[in-house]
Amino acid sequence: MTALEQRIKAQAYGLGFDLVGITTTGPVPTADRFDQWLDAGRAGAMHYLERGAEKRRDTRRPVDGARSAVVVGLDYGGREPAGPVARYARGDDYHDVMEARLRELHRCVDAWTGGPVRGKAYVDTGPLLERDLARRAGLGWFGKNTMLINPRTGSFFFLGVLLLDLDLTPDAPFENEHCGHCTRCLDACPTKALVEPGVLDARRCISYLTIELRDEIPEELRAPIGGLVYGCDICQDVCPWNVKFGRSLPATSPFSTREALGATDGRTLARELLGMRQDEFSRAFRGSPMKRAKLRGLKRNAAVVLGNVGTADDAEVLTRALDDPEPLVRAHAAWALGRLAPAAH
């Protein structure tokens, strides 16, 4: 490792990243498998994943001339209490946080090399299979729940990539997997979205259903959602690597739970969301990844949660939701009321 690689890694840690590795760019070993996953329809309505297929097959293509990739991981608190919102979404948007830090790292590289050096930061937004790059950069293995697992921190971390037009000495790839015979993640998934080790059917995944899906949630999948309003951590919660190595967030973390998500149970949060106006939502969730689902999606999810864990006392808030301007919200509120009806008598 040369002085430049050492400086890049030290600066990445100094910027707050918890993991950093370097790999070379080139053909992507997992691209065929990803395309097969898409062809099988397991991405559901996430048609944007089909874009950039040729660039996705070769990591030299997103940035012309890129020869190296600096891959980073940023922990988001696997030791934080479980709740109705997935841990990654309780604070600030990770895209903004990580891209700003990666751009600062890029500026440092420019200064050290007398740049400018061609390059670009990617955080879950471009035609890159970041997980593949991370494994090749030595950051972990592909778990049976499809997450990248690091042997020192588990899997509760975001991935980001800085592609650079530089020849950097690569780290050794992570060659082994350490899941062994464990199937806790597959066994724990309420909707059986993990159809086999390492294969996720997004159409059944609670994270997909409550975030990416814009239409009605299939009725047979509503009850398994339970009290989860946005996203799901179950397959990570049960992973022994997270049980042993998950971390708590520092008090200054941008991913600490924001005030609008103070409710620690799904029923309370669902009631609050169903009564929320658009201006209140925009104010409370400014800079939050939860804006991705939009208020209509969150109200849809909230109605499902009340249908699952609500009581007769929630009939009033659901009845008011029958007058919501969004047909999507009205339909799920009616379903939830039907679920509550037996308990009301």
Contact 316, 344 (CB under 8 A): no
Task: Report, in angstroms and rounded to the nearest whole number, the Rg of the chain calculated over CA atoms.
Answer: 21
**Is 205 in the same domain as 338?**
no
CA dihedral 127, 130, 133, 135 (to 10 degrees): -150
Query: Is 299:321 a contact under the CB 8 Å cutoff?
Result: yes
CB-based contact 310:267 (threshold 8 Å): yes
Cα angle at 222 between 188 and 287, to 5 degrees?
85
Burial 138-156 (b: 16+ CB within 10 A, else e): bbbbbbbbbbbbbeebbbb
The predicted pLDDT at position 115 comes to 83
- Contacts by 283-287, CB closer than 8 A, 24 or more apart: 284/258, 284/259, 284/260, 285/260, 287/92, 287/93, 287/96
- Give the burial class of 294: count Cβ atoms within 10 A of its Cβ; 0-12 exposed, 13-18 middle, 19 or more buried: middle
Last residue of a domain, one of 214, 249, 284: 249
Residues 208 and 275 in one domain: no
Residues 81 and 99 occupy one common structural domain? yes
Expressed as residue numbers, the domain containing 268 is: 258-345
Q: What does the pLDDT read at residue 133? A: 98
Residues 142 and 263 in one domain: no
What is the model's pLDDT at position 342? 64
Which three-class secondary structure state does DSSP give residue 108? helix
For residue 149, give the nearest of 225, 232, 238 by alpha carbon: 238
**CATH number where 344 lies:** 1.25.10.10
**Cβ count near 238 (within 10 Å):** 18
CB 164 within 8 A of CB 158: no
Do 78 and 218 fall into the same domain?
A: yes
- Note the pLDDT of residue 1: 65
CA distance linking residue 31 with residue 36, whole number of Å:
9
Do 215 and 302 reside in the same domain of the chain? Answer: no
- Same domain for 91 and 146, yes or no, is yes
Q: Is the same domain home to 223 and 297?
A: no
Q: Quick one: 139 and 285 in the same domain?
A: no
pLDDT of residue 260: 87
Please count the structural domains in the chain: 2
**Domain check: are 102 and 121 in the same one?**
yes
Inter-residue contact 102 to 160 (CB < 8 Å) = yes
* Residue reference for tokens 């806790």: 184
Of the residues 249, 268, 297, the one at which a domain ends:
249
Name the DSSP class of 183: -
pLDDT in tens, the chain (345 residues): 689 999 999 999 999 999 999 999 999 999 999 999 999 999 999 999 999 988 999 999 999 989 999 999 999 999 999 999 999 999 999 999 999 999 999 999 999 999 899 999 999 989 999 999 999 999 999 999 999 999 999 999 999 999 999 999 999 999 999 999 999 999 999 999 999 999 999 999 999 999 999 999 999 999 999 999 999 999 999 999 999 999 999 989 999 999 888 767 999 999 999 999 999 999 999 999 999 999 999 999 999 999 999 999 999 999 999 999 999 999 999 999 999 976 554
The catalytic residue positions are 124
Q: Are residues 227 and 324 in the same domain?
A: no
Q: Find out whether 146 and 200 touch, Cβ atoms under 8 Å.
A: yes
Q: Count CB neighbours of 256 within 10 A.
A: 15
Choosing from 216, 249, 282, the residue where a domain stops is 249
282 and 216, same structural domain? no
pTM of the model: 0.95
- Cα angle 245, 251, 257 (rounded to 5 degrees) comes to 85
Amino acid at 194: L
Between CA 113 and CA 159 the distance in angstroms is 25
Distance CA 44, CA 297 (A): 17
